[in-house]
A = this chain, B = another copy of it.
Amino acid sequence: MTNWDHYYATRAARMQASEIRELLKLLDQPDIISFAGGIPDPELFPTEAIAKASNAILGNKGRATTALQYAVSEGYLPLREWLANYMAALGVKCTAENILITNGSQQGLDFLGKLFISPNDTILVAWPTYLGALQAFNAYEPHYDILPGPGSNRTPESYRAGGKPKPKFGYVMPEFQNPTGTSMTKEERIALLDAAEAIDLPLIEDAAYEHLRYDGERAPPIMALAAERAGGIDHAKVMYLGTFSKSIVPALRIGWIVAPKDVIKKLVLINQASNLHVSPLNQMILHEVAATLLETHTKKIRDIYKVRRDAMLKSLAAHMPANVSWTKPEGGMFIWMTLPNTIDGAELLRRAINDVRVAFVPGSAFFADRSGRNTIRLSFSLNDPAVIDEGIKRLASLLRGT
C-alpha cells in the first residue's frame, strides 16, 4: 500500500475522524437510548409540503429548467430576498446582496475559514465550542485562543501580549450554543462587541438553533447590535450564519451567510471555485416551504422539543447524584453536564453503552485544547419523555455506582 501521508498537504495531519460521527455509526442498535446526535426528529419533517413544492417546481417547464440548470453562485434570488426580509424581522437590515446561499451552514464555516485564516493565524472560540466549527477551521491550520466573554476573564491587551499578531476573527454561537445549550444575554453580547472592537476583531455569529427557543426572551443578534453601532451591516465587522437544518430539514442542505457586501463578493468567488452553486431545486423547494410554513412549523416543533427538554431537566433533577451539575437551556437541543474531576466522559461513555445501554457525547471534543474531559453533552431532541426518563435514570445509576 502507498503511504499517502508523504503526498498530502501539511493541513492533512489535522484532519481526524469526528468522534461524534464515528459514534453515530455505532448507535443503530435498537436497545440503546441515545442522547448523542444533535439531529432533528424526522417524525417532525414537513415531508408533504416538501413533496408538494418539488412537484410544483418540476411540473412547470420554466421553473424546472431553473431548478435543474447551472445557476449563479450567489444563490436563488427569490430565496435571498425572502431571507433579507426574514433577517430584517430579527433586527438585521440587509438586502439580497448581503446574502450567500451555502450547502448548509457547515459550508459557511468552511468558506469563512478559507477567506480569513492563513496558517498559524489565531482565531478565538469559546471553551467549549461547536466541534464542526473546529473541524472546518482546522483545514486552514489556525491556532486557537479563548474568546472574551462569559467564562473567560481575558483582557483585550492579553491577545497582543509579547507582540503577538492580532487574532483573525472570533466565532460565537450566542443562542443555545452547541454543546452547552446556553445563550448570551444582551449585556453579554454588548460586552463581547466592546472587547472585539478593542482588538479590531471581526466576529462570526452562528445562529444554527435560533428557531428553537422554548422560553425566555431572545436578545438581538450580535450582528444587529454591531450594525446599529456602525451605521449598517456593510460597515460592521460581523458575519452571520443561518440554516434551515434544525427548523425545516437538514438534508436539503440549505444555509446562508449574511455579511457586508464586500465580504459576500469574495465568498461568491469562493463558492464558484469550490462548489459552483447549491442545488437550485433544493433552494426553490426550501424557499417555497419556508415562505409557506416556517412560522407554523417551527411553533409545532418547539412545542414538542420543549416537552422533551422539560422531561430531561425533570429527570436530571430527580435522579442525578449531587456531585454532577448541568445547564438549564432556554432552547436548542442540548444539555451540558459537568462530572466530578475524577470521571472521564469518554470512559464513562464506554461503560454507559456497555453496562446500561445509554449513549451521549463526551465533552472534550468540543474544546480546542481537548480539555474538559469531565464533561458530556446530552441531546433531548430525539426521544419521548418516557424514554428520556429511562435513559437518565440508567445514566444516574451508573454515575452513583462510580
Question: Which of B17, B51, B107, B168 is within 8 Å of A7, CB to CB?
Answer: B168
Interface-lining segment among A146-154, A267-275, A301-309: A267-275
In this assembly, does A26 line the interface, its C-beta being within 8 Å of a C-beta of chain B?
Answer: no
Given A2-B262, A168-B7, A47 and B21 contact (CB-CB distance below 8 Å): no
Among A197-213, those with CB < 8 Å from B are 202
Question: Which of B2, B45, B106, B235 is within 8 Å of A260, CB to CB?
Answer: B2
> Is the pair B25, A72 in contact by a Cβ cutoff of 8 Å?
yes
Given A42-B68, A235-B1, A282-B282, A273 and B110 contact (CB-CB distance below 8 Å): yes
Q: Distance in Å from the Cβ of A320 to the closest Cβ of chain B?
A: 29
Given A9-B117, A51-B58, A115-B9, A266 and B15 contact (CB-CB distance below 8 Å): yes
Q: A98 to chain B: which residues have CB within 8 Å?
A: none
Among A117-157, those with CB < 8 Å from B are 117-119, 121, 132, 135-136, 138-140
- Contact code string A97-115 (vs B, CB < 8 Å = 1, else 0): 0000001101101100011
> Is the pair B47, A251 in contact by a Cβ cutoff of 8 Å?
no
In this assembly, does A50 line the interface, its C-beta being within 8 Å of a C-beta of chain B?
Answer: yes
- Contact code string A48-62 (vs B, CB < 8 Å = 1, else 0): 001100110011010
> Which has the most chain B C-beta neighbours within 10 Å: A67, A135, A273, A277?
A273
Q: A42 to chain B: which residues have CB within 8 Å?
A: 65, 68-69
Q: Pick 16 A–B contacts, CB within 8 A, sort by A.
A: A9-B121, A15-B270, A39-B70, A45-B64, A45-B69, A51-B55, A54-B54, A55-B55, A68-B251, A70-B250, A106-B273, A107-B274, A110-B274, A135-B273, A139-B273, A139-B274
Q: Distance in Å from the Cβ of A29 to the closest Cβ of chain B?
A: 17
Q: Distance in Å from the Cβ of A92 to the closest Cβ of chain B?
A: 17
A85, B25: Cα distance in complex, Å: 25
Give the size category of A's interface with B.
Answer: 35 or more
A343, B335: Cα distance in complex, Å: 67
In this assembly, does A279 line the interface, its C-beta being within 8 Å of a C-beta of chain B?
Answer: yes
- Contact code string A268-291 (vs B, CB < 8 Å = 1, else 0): 011011111111111000000000
Q: A235 to chain B: which residues have CB within 8 Å?
A: 1-2
Question: Which of B4, B8, B47, B135 is within 8 Å of A64, CB to CB?
Answer: B47
> Is the pair A279, B276 in contact by a Cβ cutoff of 8 Å?
no
Question: Which of B15, B106, B269, B279 is within 8 Å of A279, CB to CB?
Answer: B279
Q: A70 to chain B: which residues have CB within 8 Å?
A: 37, 39, 245, 250-251
Among A1-52, those with CB < 8 Å from B are 1-2, 4, 7-12, 15-18, 21, 25, 37, 39-40, 42, 45, 47, 50-51
CB nearest neighbor in B for A265: B17
In this assembly, does A377 line the interface, its C-beta being within 8 Å of a C-beta of chain B?
Answer: no
In this assembly, does A249 line the interface, its C-beta being within 8 Å of a C-beta of chain B?
Answer: yes
